[in-house]
A = this chain, B = another copy of it.
Amino acid sequence: MTSNYTTQMNAARQRIVTPQMRDVLAVEPISEQVLLEKVAAGKIAIPANKNHKNLVAGAVGEGLRTKVNVNLGVSEDCCNLDLEMKKVENALALKTDAIMDLSTFGRTREFRRKVVETCPVMIGTVPVYDAVAKYKKDPTEISVDEFFQVVEEHAEDGVDFMTIHAGLTRVAVERIRKNMRLTHVVSRGGSVLLEWMEVNQAENPFYANFDRLLDLCVKYDITLSLGDGLRPGCLKDATDAPQIQELIILGELTKACWERDVQVMIEGPGHVPLNEIVANMQLEKKLCHGAPFYVLGPLVTDVAPGYDHITSAIGGAIAATYGADFLCYVTPAEHLRLPDLNDMKEGIIASRIAAHAADIAKGLPGAMDWDNQMSAARKNLDWSGMLDLAIDPEKARAYRESSKPLDEEVCTMCGDLCAVKRSKRVLEDK
């Protein structure tokens, strides 16, 4: 069967409803008409590589449920493929909406193909990391063709969205030098490209060859996740000139993508003081013309390594209320080590809490139904209902069972002083 459209955006612009759009319509509170309009306008992206055969497509953007992404992958310090596949399995069980394979070492292609094959959710990668793994040479010696070779391999393997730091241009580097930061560049891909540009005295290879990148995107329907190589790595650097300069360039690249019917998401900070989060959301939506916003955190303080799932849940909930569409999870291990299975779980739940709180706050139809069911179970002292409805029934059940009250109807927090029981007696039982 030959398709009469290239990308999901191209289909939407022809008013063709694709199978992937049907997946989205089945689970999101949006009409076919509105979905077509927003995909056509770039306000919603449906990352769906033509080679990701078992994908049940999800969508990211305006008017949709806030999505959560999990990062994993093998690295030099931690190259156990089986453990990483266990993470994939757990992430799916914990209801992640996306998985990014950030492998940087070893049998990366084998792992990547396995992940795509296993996962019905969208898969993302950062090809620059894999280029470092693949060519085993100083990253500054990787050629432009070699970078593109990796992008094409990822595309062939069925990766749905790719982080490309094409906005970290020479103009943006000039901003860094004129506005020195406390923590410089904290993006891995960004720092590799920064050094590459410096040593080779050349423009960012993805910016200089952006049309070549778009050719691949059209061919496979890759969604570009335009990376924020200059995201702030600490509160002090937030919302500064380098960050905003890069965002301006990402906005220009967004238009170039849309001219070719290529879908785009924009990646965002990072570490941001709570009072600057709303401005950051507004700036992205304005400078990038309403493209979906994919944020890492933002972390609202720098002082809590070991608890950055919490610092980022605070920032993420606010961000998603005011414009972010997609939250990259952050685990308690952030800034300290690669996360283990337990860290991953803590990170996913914290991100899902932030996403859900934001969906309620932005008035997503039906978002509060879950809360209302839980509250009704609480009012009725229906413990089995409460535990089943919990975002993590296993943890809730373990807590409950570890400390049984004298009266099984209540809990050990209040015992006989249970306000729910007492107020029900006064207000209902008469």
Chain A interface residues toward B at CB < 8 A: 75-78, 104-105, 129, 132, 176-177, 180, 182-188, 190-192, 194-195, 198, 233-237, 271, 273-275, 300-307, 309-311, 313-314, 317-318, 321, 332-338, 349-350, 353-354, 356-358, 360-363, 368, 370-372, 374-376, 378-379, 386-387, 389-392, 395-396, 399-400, 402-403, 405-406, 411-420, 422-428
| CB-based nearest B residue for A339 | B413
Q: Return A410 CB to nearest CB of chain B, in Å.
A: 9
Given A75-B412, A337-B411, A413-B338: A180 touches B372 (CB 8 Å cut-off): no
Q: Which of A273, A317, A415, A423 has the most CB of B within 10 A?
A: A423
Report B-chain residues with C-beta under 8 Å of the C-beta of A75.
412, 414-415, 417
Given the complex of chains A and B, what is the CA–CA distance between A321 and B274 in angstroms?
Answer: 8
Query: Contacting A317 at CB < 8 Å: which of B300, B335, B361?
Result: B300
Majority-rule SS of A interface residues: helix
Report B-chain residues with C-beta under 8 Å of the C-beta of A420.
183-184, 186, 191, 233
Report B-chain residues with C-beta under 8 Å of the C-beta of A360.
235, 273-275, 300-301
Pair B77/A415 contact, Cβ less than 8 Å? yes
Pair A357/B306 contact, Cβ less than 8 Å? no
Pair B374/A302 contact, Cβ less than 8 Å? yes
Report B-chain residues with C-beta under 8 Å of the C-beta of A396.
305-306, 336
Given A300-B317, A321-B274: A399 touches B191 (CB 8 Å cut-off): no
Pair A417/B302 contact, Cβ less than 8 Å? no
Given the complex of chains A and B, what is the CA–CA distance between A273 and B336 in angstroms?
Answer: 33
Report B-chain residues with C-beta under 8 Å of the C-beta of A309.
310
Q: Return A75 CB to nearest CB of chain B, in Å.
A: 5
| CB-based nearest B residue for A234 | B375
| CB-based nearest B residue for A277 | B361
Pair A425/B195 contact, Cβ less than 8 Å? yes
Q: Return A237 CB to nearest CB of chain B, in Å.
A: 8
Pair A78/B412 contact, Cβ less than 8 Å? yes
